[in-house]
Amino acid sequence: MLYLVYRNILLLIMRSTILVGGQAVIEGVMMRVPGAYATAVRKKDGGIEIKRHSFESMITNNRFLSLPIIRGMIHLYESMKIGYGTLQWSAEISEPNINQSNKFLDSILSLLSIVFAIGLFFGLPIISADFFLNYFSFKEDTLIFNIISGVIRIALFLIYLISISFLKDVHRLFQFHGAEHKTVYNFESGQNINIDNAKLFSKEHPRCGTSFIFIVMLVSIFSFTIIDTFIIALGVDLTVIKRLLFHIPCIPLVAGLSYEVLKIIAKYQKYYLFKIFAYPGLLLQKITTQNPDDSQLEVAIAALKNAFGDNLSNYEGKEFNADAIG
């Protein structure tokens, strides 16, 4: 169950930008580039299985969906959809002798994991903040309430990440996560994409999904404060249940706003103020990324090169900023 939660949770100047990113999967890496994505998985016999898909985002040629905040919501949806499919495929390739659960059962487990995640990271912080304010007889204030709730949410997230990092399979997943980052850095640098070059780069990246989740948690504090204030102004008495009913539907909106914040931080990361904002996310990546070995870097590079296909030559030797990364 905890792994399924991570899976669903785990699902962004001066140089030109390009949509390049991806995610770690079971014994492999998925890389997404303009017009396609490819997944490379290390098989039991030592070989690498690769599957490439053409893909065009809903944002392409759609003015409304490409508007700020809305594009972040669409990007999150597409990333989760692609991520779920590639993760399922990687499990089938990496463990061919294990009987795969039927799709209906897997869908039920995934749904339960989402419900569990919402309860853990949204329900429990709200209940805890309400108990804290009542126990100490504090006058309820929407900002204070959401700050307490947000701090508890971040603490739970940290405990969760640290706990699962001790699992052997999750540790390998985090290594492939590090391989993904190093490979994207290698691509961004304009240097020849190979194992020797990739291993020289950092395993932490400012546009990582881990940083995105942390920003979501920070942005949610202020977003939910505004929402609560507006609802109270309408004369609604906010209980724990009512807060959940109002907050949960707003999660996509908060994610879209967080996406824009992440893009701004990444774009201006050379400035000291924005480095401060990026630092907590990079610290979290000390947990969610581990240094990969050469064989894992080989898989990540294979995924990136196959995602680009024949178009790779159009980008080699040029410096870029990846506009999205997992």
Determine the Cα–Cα distance for residues 272 and 269; give it in Å rounded to an integer. 7
Q: Is 23 strand, coil or helix?
A: strand
184-197 b/e with 16+ CB inside 10 Å = b? bbbbbbebebebeb
Q: Structural domain boundaries of the chain?
A: 2-322
Q: Is the pLDDT of residue 284 over 70?
A: yes
Q: Is the pLDDT of residue 13 over 90?
A: no
Q: What DSSP letter does each residue of 158-209 carry, written as one string? A: HHHHHHHTTSHHHHHHHHHHHHHHHHHHHHHHTS--SHHHHTTS-S--TT-H
Residues with Cβ < 8 Å from 34, sequence gap 6 or more? Answer: 18, 19
Structure tokens that stand for 204 in this block: 């932490």
User: What is residue 15's predicted lDDT score, i.e. its pLDDT?
Assistant: 38
Specify the range with the lowest mean pLDDT, choosing from 7-21, 132-146, 308-322: 7-21
User: What is residue 299's predicted lDDT score, i.e. its pLDDT?
Assistant: 97
Report which of 71, 103, 101 is spatially closest to residue 262, judged by C-alpha positions.
71
Per-residue pLDDT tens over the stretch 128-150? 999 988 888 777 789 999 999 99
Q: What DSSP letter does each residue of 103-137 carry, written as one string? A: HHHHHHHHHHHHHHHHIIIIIHHHHHHHHHHHHTT
Per-residue pLDDT tens over the stretch 242-272? 999 999 999 999 999 998 888 888 777 778 8
For the chain, the C-alpha Rg in angstroms (whole number) is: 20
pLDDT band per the 50, 70, 90 thresholds, residue 323: low
Per the CB < 8 A criterion, the answer to whether 262 and 156 are in contact is no
Per the CB < 8 A criterion, the answer to whether 132 and 149 are in contact is no
Element (H, E) at 39: strand 36-42
User: What is residue 133's predicted lDDT score, i.e. its pLDDT?
Assistant: 87
Report the chain's terminal Cα–Cα distance, integer Å. 22
Torsions phi, psi for 73 (to 5 deg): -65, -45
CA dihedral angle for residue 289, residue 293, residue 296, residue 298, rounded to 10 degrees: 130
Determine the Cα–Cα distance for residues 191 and 206; give it in Å rounded to an integer. 20
Element (H, E) at 281: helix 272-288
User: What is residue 96's predicted lDDT score, i.e. its pLDDT?
Assistant: 74
Structure tokens that stand for 316 in this block: 């080699």
